[in-house]
């Protein structure tokens, strides 16, 4: 099995790489962020834990989690963030494990599947959540800190019409393990400081097992 764990910093380009891998190489992509959202859906045990801890004010009128409110509660409090991650990560891990099991079963039936890899697990907190054992290789998407700021601010403006302050962007970025530390533990580093085309050339080489240009 070849299972790629794709990680990086906030706004460093993980989604850009995973979109390219699925459109160009038809690779199955699983995204930890989607599972993390599923973990807190109405009726889930995790949402119940969150309500028990923070009260019903943490919900929107329709019963969904008020994600913005929760984010502001855990933003500046690392112990609360750790608590929340401890609630969510086991569910995310369970989803990945199930997917890998299914994939293994499919591979026995159809050994000539995708020639490049079996799947890509996009896990922003791959190291922090100790999920490295799920994958067979680790790719880190790197971009310089200044670019991370600019991309984050730009995206927040486009998606939410909100102007993120430099302090907010900095706090978000600093809430994760540093990108330099992640790079030290990577099998492959994809440098995303130029154009998407330059990034995709590196992805092409990495997926084909060639030297990265």
Annotated binding site for ATP: 11-16
Between 7 and 87, whose beta carbon lies closer to ligand ATP? 7
Between 132 and 176, whose beta carbon lies closer to ligand ATP? 176
Place of tokens 């533990």: 185
Between 89 and 151, whose beta carbon lies closer to ligand ATP? 151
Residues 6+ apart with CB under 8 A from 131: 5, 32, 89, 92, 93, 96, 121, 123, 125
- Spatial separation of the C-alpha atoms in residues 56 and 59, rounded to whole Å: 6
Shortest CB 53 distance to ligand ATP, Å? 25
Shortest CB 37 distance to ligand ATP, Å? 13
Comparing CA positions, the residue from 75, 69, 74, 37 lying closest to residue 173 is 75
Between 49 and 204, whose beta carbon lies closer to ligand ATP? 204
Residues of this chain that bind ligand ATP (CB under 6 A): 8, 10-16, 124, 151, 155, 192, 195-196, 199
Shortest CB 61 distance to ligand ATP, Å? 27
Question: Which residue numbers belong to the known binding site?
Answer: 11-16
Shortest CB 172 distance to ligand ATP, Å? 8
Q: Quick count: other Cβ atoms within 10 Å of Cβ 36? A: 20
Between 59 and 199, whose beta carbon lies closer to ligand ATP? 199
Burial label, 119 (beta-carbon count in 10 A; 0-12, 13-18, 19+): buried
Shortest CB 107 distance to ligand ATP, Å? 28
Between 59 and 179, whose beta carbon lies closer to ligand ATP? 179
DSSP designation for 59: B
- Helix (H) or strand (E) segment spanning residue 165: none
- Spatial separation of the C-alpha atoms in residues 61 and 42, rounded to whole Å: 12
Buried b (16+ CB within 10 A) or exposed e, 7-26: bbbbbbbbbbbbebbeeebe
Shortest CB 181 distance to ligand ATP, Å? 16
């Amino acid at each position: 099995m070849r299972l790629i764990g794709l990680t990086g910093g906030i706004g460093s380009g993980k989604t850009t790489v995973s979109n390219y891998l699925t459109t160009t190489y038809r690779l199955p992509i699983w995204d930890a962020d989607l599972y993390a959202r599923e973990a807190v859906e109405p009726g889930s045990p995790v949402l119940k834990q969150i309500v028990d801890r923070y009260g019903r004010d943490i919900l929107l009128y329709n019963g969904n989690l008020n994600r913005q409110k929760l984010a502001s509660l855990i933003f500046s409090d690392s112990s609360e963030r750790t608590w929340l991650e401890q609630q969510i990560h086991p569910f995310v891990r369970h989803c990945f494990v199930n997917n890998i099991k299914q994939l293994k079963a499919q591979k026995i039936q159809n050994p000539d599947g995708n020639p490049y890899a079996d799947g890509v697990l996009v896990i922003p907190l791959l190291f922090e959540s100790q999920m490295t054992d799920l994958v067979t290789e680790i790719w880190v998407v790197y971009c310089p800190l200044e670019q991370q700021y600019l991309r984050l601010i730009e995206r927040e403006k486009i998606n939410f019409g909100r102007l993120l302050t430099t302090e907010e962007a900095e706090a978000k970025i600093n809430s994760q393990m540093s990108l330099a530390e992640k790079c030290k533990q990577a099998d492959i580093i994809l440098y995303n400081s130029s154009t998407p085309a330059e990034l995709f050339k590196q992805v092409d080489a990495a997926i084909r097992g060639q030297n990265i240009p």
